[in-house]
Amino acid sequence: AYAYNIKKAKKLFAEGMKEAGLKKLTLTIEGSSDSTVTKSTLDTLQQSWSELPGLTVKEKLVPFKQRLLDQENHNFDVVLAAWGADYAEPLTFLNMFVTDGANNDGKWSNKQYDTLINNASDKDALSDTKRTADEIKAEKTLYDDSAVNPVDWMNAAILSNSKVKGVQYFSSGAPYYFWNAYRSKK
């Protein structure tokens, strides 16, 4: 459901500015200076967000450890952070946004969301159908409230030798295991 629509963005931003009683707004986006992709991502966000009338966007690059401290201490306007799945189940991401959660650095709170995540983790955990329904409703709540806004998705190109067999590839946790890998003679 994420799509670029500058006309709609300008309309919604103007409504928000009016509701907040603002004519101008300056936001600083913070990112990690020791990441190879952060600067280009911040540049892209700054360029696209600056199309909104009345918005000035500044960039702040700090070392990774400082960004983590700023997140933890809620010392940011907007922060560019990344999260990789620890396990192959939506709760690896969805658990991050429960009220007072350890990784809920934006301090977003929604009772319905908390109930859905609690149900998915407890009452409905053993029912794939019910747990998935809870997770889908929770994700829609995140989206509708704009609690978090993904700007990109991680991917990686992997070069492999066709003679190496038995390598296992995963979409979460460790990207690959060589536990059963071997080299064939053909």
Q: How confident is the model at residue 1 (pLDDT cuts 50, 70, 90)?
A: low
Say yes or no to pLDDT of 76 above 80: yes
Residue-wise pLDDT tens digits, 94-122: 999 999 998 899 899 999 999 999 999 99
Q: Which fold has domain 1-82?
A: Dipeptide-binding Protein; domain 3 (3.10.105)
Kind and range of the H or E run holding 30: strand 25-32
In a 10 Å sphere around its CB, with 0-12 CB exposed, 13-18 middle and 19+ buried, how is residue 133 labelled? Answer: middle
What phi and psi, each to the nearest 5 degrees, are found at residue 79? -125, 135
**Rounded Cα–Cα distance for residues 180 and 177 (Å):** 8
Domain boundaries of the chain, sorted by first residue: 1-82
